[in-house]
Amino acid sequence: MCKMTTQEILKKIIDDHGGFALFAEENKSRLSGMIGDFFPYDPKMRRILRFAVNENVACRLLKVKDSGDAPLEIKKLKFYLHDECGLDESIASQVVDCFAFALGLSNDGSNSQTAKHELSTLRDRAIRLDTTSEQGNENDAKENSAYRESPFFERKTDRHPAEPEMVFVQGGTFMMGATPEQSDDCFNKEKPAHQVRVSDFYIGKYEVTQEQWKAVMGNNPSAFKGEKLPVESISWNDVQVFIQKLNTLTGKLYRLPTEAEWEFAARGGNKSKGYKYSGSNNVGDVAWYGDNSGNKTHPVGMKSPNELDIYDMSGNVWEWCSDRYGKYSSNAETNPQGPKSGSYRVFRGGSWGSSAGSTRVSSRGSIWPGGYNDSLGFRLAFSSK
């Protein structure tokens, strides 16, 4: 039996499991899961295909009109993935060709009659979904995310380019700190485990990127350069300046998450399955860390998300929280804000250079607010009210 090519495998996934409807927003997690099933021994290809799904490569191709624009769109997508997302040029070309093949498109713009019909139907659906998201339906926002934006939808919007895609986190009660699944990797600073209740809030689906930072600050302090890479080498004080400027530009109230909010979201909120890392008990599925990062950061969103569809809460870069650092109490708390005094600020999640143990959801670190390094970044939050 002949070995199937990557594009043939991707086409088979689509043909056998729902057709082009797999590219609808609500089916992204399902498609990412099937890619994992079909590429169990090829983690690199698995990550790249999932990254393409997250970047809506197929949706962009689906929106190509049947007038022969496919070759131009394919070239634009290859350029985007290479130039803006930091993928190797040959890999960017390969992944776009895979999706074009799976959708029945070719570089000369041809496609079958069946494909034309499905492309037209799903393209219209994608546009309708995109229009609906602009109307700000509150229920949909809470179920999926506060905002939906992709460079491939080309929406006209008054949102500032630095504003992140946010995920709604329904409030709830959880055990914070050294819970049993965190095993013997826990340090004393994670103890004792204690009950915490947090209210509804929103948190960034991704770590803040260098592209977003530059859109507000006009500079890029990062050691590892790339538009879609997380910004790093920024202090807690630097982040406060960024947030103040972003809020002035947008009229909104973005902030850093509290340490309790961060851990609740990393654990999967009310959908938590009790994983050791954010979204899995297998650290390599969800985290860029010391054993797989190649000693560098990676574009946000390339690993699998957690139960709330949030990416990179384990690994890639450590993330600043709003709290001052302090020891835990065994007392139950509601919306804790951290100690009222102290010299250090908390950061969470582990980084590209961390051990697996440091990427656990209860792992915590601290540094003075003026400190920074090439493994420390952040994601944004804001209160639901």
- 201: domain CATH number is 3.90.1580.10
For 298, the domain range is: 166-383
Highest mean pLDDT pick, 95-99, 141-145, 195-199: 195-199
Mean pLDDT of 181-197: 92
> 115 and 219: one domain?
no
Structure tokens at 55: 């970047």
Q: Let me know if residue 158 belongs to a domain.
A: no
The answer to whether position 175 is within a domain reads yes
Answer yes or no: do 105 and 54 share one domain. Answer: yes
Range 22-41 average pLDDT: 74
In a domain? residue 154: no
Are 180 and 92 contained in the same domain? no
Counting the structural domains of the chain, the total is 2
Tell me the per-residue pLDDT of 117-140, one tens digit each, with 9 for 90 and over: 433 443 343 333 333 333 333 333
Same domain, 128 and 179: no
Query: Does 115 map to a domain?
Result: yes
My answer on whether 52 and 101 are in the same domain is yes
Burial class (CB in 10 A: 0-12, 13-18, 19+), 8: middle
Summarised one tens digit per residue, pLDDT across range 215-259 is 999 999 999 999 999 999 999 999 999 999 999 999 999 999 999
Phi-psi region for residue 177, left (φ > 0), alpha (ψ -120 to 50) or beta? left
* CA pair distance 117, 100, nearest whole angstrom: 16
What is the rounded distance in angstroms from the CA atom of residue 354 to the CA atom of residue 372?
Answer: 16
Does residue 151 sit within a domain?
no
Most confident of 152-156, 162-166, 180-184, 310-314: 310-314
Instruction: Mark whether 59 and 116 lie in a shared domain.
Output: yes
106 and 175 assigned to the same domain: no
Nearest one of 211, 207, 222, 225 to 303, comparing CA atoms: 207
Residues 195 and 114 in one domain: no
Look at residue 150 and tell me if it is in a domain. no
Please count the helices (runs of H) and the strands (runs of E) in the chain: 12, 10
Residue 106: per-residue pLDDT: 56
pLDDT, residue 314, reads: 98
Burial of residue 341 (number of CB atoms within 10 Å: 0-12, 13-18, 19+): exposed
Does residue 161 lie within any of the structural domains?
A: no
Whether residue 133 sits in one domain with residue 180 = no
Give me the DSSP letters along 36-54. Answer: HHH-TT-HHHHHHHHHHHH
Assigned domain for 378 exists: yes
Q: Is 319 found in the same domain as 182?
A: yes
Residue 202 near residue 169, CB atoms below 8 Å: yes
The string of pLDDT tens digits covering residues 84-111 is 676 777 788 888 888 888 887 754 433 4
- For residues 215 and 133, membership in a common domain is answered with no
Query: Cα–Cα distance between 172 and 255 in angstroms, integer?
Result: 20
Distance between start and end Cα atoms, the chain: 59
Q: Are residues 237 and 339 in the same domain?
A: yes
